[in-house]
Amino acid sequence: MRVLLTGGSGFIAALVLDELLERGHSVVTTAVIHTASPFHFNIMDVQKELLNPAVIGTTGILKSIKKSAPSVKRVVITSSFASIMDLKQGARPVENPAAGYRASKTFAEKAGWEFVEKENPNFTLSTMCPPLVLSPIVHYLNSLDALNTSNQRIRDCMLGKWKDEVPATGIFIWVDVRDLALSHVLAAEKAEAANKRFFITSGHFATRRLQNNVDTVLKGWKQIGFEKSITDTVKSLQAVGE
């Protein structure tokens, strides 16, 4: 499968690229994986810096594929858990960067589905809707100041910025970017993923738990994880009476 990957220098896309190459796909086209979309809160104008780039970026690439790349059969777009959540309580000010980000992902994904419905292109669409994305980085950074938004909480914890107060968890579910990257590639590979949206998650998350894990690593402890503990326990119980 020959694949066009957008946003290839970004946090999620860098891992998607690794998965594509590891599975023998040529990157640069029978499928398109579109990951490029702004995700940061250091903005002055929500409309210009978040909403427009997300929506126009999505519709623009879909129009280009239909017009100039008839060989493309699959399109996978990185959306967000933000596009499927509904915050029924509280204000939703347009000038709020976090609310603006959620809106940008919602409107961009909606625009993608509307395009497929109205234009009836030769390709199918699949969208990935992850929550908080955490994982080691593989793309180049010149400093930790350039770290992607979701991993900044780990950086801040490592640098001691939580010593006075552990911040609120906020979104309490997460996914490892390596699992998310594989999900993108599988959606492009598998016919049954066509025209579906996927909520990809690894489970629950809390900042206090993150802090404990970071402290463990920094202090050189090597704790046994929950999964290994349960696996080893089950095996030991199975061996009873043998």
**Residues annotated as catalytic (active site), given as ranges:** 105
The C-alpha atoms of residue 103 and residue 178 are separated, in whole angstroms, by: 26
The residue with tokens 């999900």 is 183
Q: In terms of DSSP H, where are the helices of 120-196?
A: 152-158, 177-189
Q: What is the 3-state secondary structure (H, E, C) of 45-100?
A: CHHHHHHHHHHHHHHHHHHHHHHHCCCCCEEEEECCHHHCCCCCCCCCCCCCHHHH
DSSP letter at 220 equals: T
Cα–Cα distances in angstroms (integers) from residue 57 to residues 61, 103, 111, 239, in the given order: 6, 14, 10, 57
Secondary structure class of 206 (helix, strand, coil): coil
End-to-end CA distance of the chain: 49
At 133, phi and psi to the nearest 5? -105, 120
Q: Which amino acid is at 142?
A: N
The C-alpha atoms of residue 117 and residue 124 are separated, in whole angstroms, by: 10
Q: Which amino acid is at 61?
A: I
